[in-house]
Structure 1
């Protein structure tokens, strides 16, 4: 993912008011390892029910698209065991949360939402890069491991972009 500025991130939100985007508590951007991120996701440290995800554009000329998410559990106390819909990691299944996003535009103003189960702390980019298990590769082969990781990364990018497309979709 290309490094983003605070201004780019705040301008990317498609389902948030200007005020909501301006009040978002951003992560420390200089501390992020942008080369190892497939999307930028974080929980708002000031408002525990709020979270954000910024997904890069699918075409080279497309800018990033940000979505405001709401956790269904205050302070994230109820964490589910399951598989994240974005990274589909089968090893780290202990910390999954249901996030709901208001749709963009008129559908969102009518109250239409879309939800997804995602890693509570948005660790998807790290999860897809973990060393594959022997069960995932079939044998201990560096080329197979690299292929599995590349397939996971592409899958994460595609599924997170599909979620953003669903937020943007006119119903």
Structure 2
């Protein structure tokens, strides 16, 4: 992913109001992000931890998605959950159900789409093995790094397509 600015981030959201996009808390380390290793920019709002955000290139343009993390984290510390984007399994709340309001009329009617995602939204770094275990996940699989990156992108865009579905 190419580096992006605060202005680009705030103007690309499609499932929240312009006012909400102007008020959202940006990552404090925006300038230090490892852009070359990111397939998308994902972060939790430092001022509202139940909120998360994704900014991704979709159909040739930046697209921002506002997310809300589920409040139910009653699973035990040792319980394992799998992110549906990068397929990393994590314990202790490392994966949470996040919902995104659908765009258009469906979103205005309150319809949303949910997906289990890494709670820190750092799927790109897990898929590359930069975070987590040495191979980016703890599954015993034969897929190489490029395959994991491609799979992460396919899974992410599948989620986005559900948000955009009429």
Shorter-chain TM-score above 0.5:
yes
Partner of 2:124 in structure 1?
125
Partner of 2:69 in structure 1?
71
Partner of 1:97 in structure 2?
96
Structure 1 residue 161, shift from structure 2 partner:
1.5
Q: 1:89 to 1:21 in 2, by over 3 A?
A: same
Partner of 2:52 in structure 1?
51
Partner of 2:159 in structure 1?
163
Q: In the alignment, is the contact (CA less than 8 A) between 1:55 and 1:160 conserved in 2?
A: no
> Partners of 2:105 and 2:46 in 1: how far apart?
29
Runs of 4+ in 1 over 4 A off after TM superposition: 76-80
1:23 aligns with 2:30: no
Q: 1:51 to 1:78 in 2, by over 3 A?
A: farther
Higher strand share: 2
> Partners of 1:84 and 1:25 in 2: how far apart?
24
> Partners of 2:74 and 2:34 in 1: how far apart?
29
1:136 aligns with 2:141: yes
Greater mean deviation of Cα atoms: 48-57 or 111-120: 48-57
Q: In the alignment, is the contact (CA less than 8 A) between 1:55 and 1:161 conserved in 2?
A: no
List runs of 5+ in structure 1 lacking aligned partners: 138-146
Quick check: which has more Rg, 1 or 2?
A: 1
Higher helix share: 1
Paired residues in the alignment total 155
Q: In the alignment, is the contact (CA less than 8 A) between 1:42 and 1:53 conserved in 2?
A: yes
Determine which structure has greater relative contact order: mean sequence separation of CA pairs < 8 Å that are 6+ residues apart, divided by chain length: 1
Q: The residue matched to 1:12 in structure 2 has which SS?
A: coil
Structure 1 residue 136, shift from structure 2 partner:
2.5
> Partners of 1:17 and 1:42 in 2: how far apart?
19
